[in-house]
A and B are shown apart, each in its own frame.
Chain A
């Protein structure tokens, strides 16, 4: 046994504590705080603008969303124990783009990352940020340049994210708040994620994706794990496709199967021309889930059918709170490469 493991066990019987175990200490702190409170800040009547918590855009947020979405689905569509299994039928209608992308996936050159290595994704993103600043609501489109190192195997908490804030854009009909510009030009490097509690079937590390079936019908089943049927299930399956394309990389057999399976999701259509966050034009396939007021597009190069990026575009002004055609999120995956290890995080 390793000495660090031994050390971790040493006195590990000291129980985990909670707030009730630190009451005495809290009491001492609170009384010290009360002593300074009158002469400090408060009496001037000046309130610090309580800057709304910036949305943490990035992998951690993505993971949170994925987990939450999965939770909702389990409640709404998950089968009760003992209920008959949900049978999916793959629609005959399929989308030409995805099929061609699948054909291309079978021909494109291939990365072969080894266990212990890292996949490196360069991308540009634009996401909607909503914040509450001193009781005032603000909305803008935050833009970032991202480079993320993700372990070939294992969870994302061992990854490293480097990002630089770009000039923000206005959310349609809203002024860009001053604070949105505060960090423009600044770079930061941090752990890619503080937690990674995705369900097993939502993992998107290379090792996991490589083990998925190369058969489209089975891949289709994989996209619908725990989802049941219906428009909500289709929307989540579509989101799952995005999870396997964005800052993710899989061997070509699985990639081809994924595209064919995605083409079979009910409601998927082609959009024709779409522009990714780096200004590259491609063809897009899209799903317009009922009730959301916007469609989620995945954009592919129209010659090579490489995945370029994704965007969401308003389709119903009323539901989305922005004019039809507005682009509310957008990304561009610029480069995928392999590294032996990520840069260090300070």
Chain B
């Protein structure tokens, strides 16, 4: 097995090969799993992420015969599968956002912050964002976060979600308006609640 050709080949050729040689699919995993896991962690937290990511790649592996080989990059496809699977956790996602909104502590960030005061110091803008994100319809949140955190283009997000580009565009526009309104509403609060920082 030539690692050089494996590294250079685009996802479509790797997937095509994996239809005959299933092991080849491991290359798709190695390329994309770290990014996808980080994305899922940002939305659901570390605990749920392991299952979602494992299931994403198992599902992708089982569906590899249906992959559209004219798409060299599998990223939108994988993000699409992950997004579907995250749908099962939508209540947990919203609940965590609400905790952050009300308490100023972010359950998702818990494992990544060593000092509890860092967790507590979530600023007014984080709380406002959490509130806005929690209030978005699921499809709007999916589109917005695929673009903002998943680094997908609008066209790729449309592919991932199985909707038209125009739909993605209008969802994101409306989501951004909502974010802006929530952030604007807290601008004065930011200054009031600011506390001195001791390093």
Give A residues with C-beta under 8 Å from B. Answer: 3-4, 6-8, 10-11, 13-19, 21-22, 24-26, 28-30, 32-33, 36-37, 40-42, 46-48, 50-53, 132, 344-346
Say whether B140 faces chain A, with CB atoms less than 8 Å apart: no
A6 contacts B8, C-beta separation under 8 Å: no
> A18: nearest residue on chain B (CB-CB)?
B34
Closest CB in chain A relative to B96 CB, distance in Å: 10
Say whether B144 faces chain A, with CB atoms less than 8 Å apart: yes
Q: Which of chain A's residues have a CB closer than 8 A to the CB of B19?
A: 41, 48
Beyond A8-B149, A14-B109, A33-B26, whether A52 also contacts B61 by CB under 8 A is no
B108 contacts A11, C-beta separation under 8 Å: yes
Q: Which of chain A's residues have a CB closer than 8 A to the CB of B5?
A: 50, 52-53, 132
Can you list 9 residue pairs at the A/B interface with Cβ under 8 Å?
Answer: A6-B183, A11-B109, A24-B54, A26-B29, A32-B61, A47-B20, A53-B9, A344-B155, A346-B155
Closest CB in chain A relative to B18 CB, distance in Å: 9
Closest CB in chain A relative to B2 CB, distance in Å: 8
Residue count of chain B within 8 Å CB distance of chain A: 48
Which 7 A/B pairs are nearest by Cβ-Cβ distance? A41-B20, A17-B34, A3-B179, A53-B8, A25-B54, A22-B33, A28-B54
Q: Which of chain A's residues have a CB closer than 8 A to the CB of B8?
A: 53
Q: Which of chain A's residues have a CB closer than 8 A to the CB of B153?
A: 345
Give B residues with C-beta under 8 Å from A. Answer: 2, 5, 8-9, 13, 16-17, 19-23, 25-26, 29-30, 33-35, 37-38, 41-42, 50, 53-54, 57-58, 61, 106, 108-109, 112-113, 125-126, 129-130, 144, 148-149, 153, 155, 165, 176, 179-180, 183
B42 contacts A14, C-beta separation under 8 Å: yes
> B129: nearest residue on chain A (CB-CB)?
A10
Indicate which residue in A10, A14, A16, A26 contacts B126 across the interface (CB closer than 8 Å). Answer: A10
Closest CB in chain A relative to B49 CB, distance in Å: 9
Closest CB in chain A relative to B168 CB, distance in Å: 12
B41 contacts A14, C-beta separation under 8 Å: yes
B38 contacts A14, C-beta separation under 8 Å: yes
> A346: nearest residue on chain B (CB-CB)?
B155
B17 contacts A48, C-beta separation under 8 Å: yes
B155 contacts A33, C-beta separation under 8 Å: no
Q: Which of chain A's residues have a CB closer than 8 A to the CB of B25?
A: 29, 33
> B126: nearest residue on chain A (CB-CB)?
A10
Closest CB in chain A relative to B176 CB, distance in Å: 6
13 additional contacts (CB under 8 A) given A10-B129, A345-B153: A6-B183, A13-B112, A19-B33, A21-B37, A25-B33, A25-B57, A32-B58, A40-B22, A46-B20, A47-B21, A48-B17, A132-B2, A346-B155
Q: Which of chain B's residues have a CB closer than 8 A to the CB of A32?
A: 58, 61
Q: Which of chain A's residues have a CB closer than 8 A to the CB of B57?
A: 25, 28-29
Closest CB in chain A relative to B184 CB, distance in Å: 9
B148 contacts A14, C-beta separation under 8 Å: no
Closest CB in chain B relative to A283 CB, distance in Å: 38
- State A344–B109 Cα separation when bound (angstroms): 37
- State A13–B149 Cα separation when bound (angstroms): 12
B176 contacts A3, C-beta separation under 8 Å: yes
A33 contacts B22, C-beta separation under 8 Å: yes
Beyond A22-B34, A29-B58, whether A15 also contacts B112 by CB under 8 A is yes
A3 contacts B180, C-beta separation under 8 Å: yes
B180 contacts A21, C-beta separation under 8 Å: no
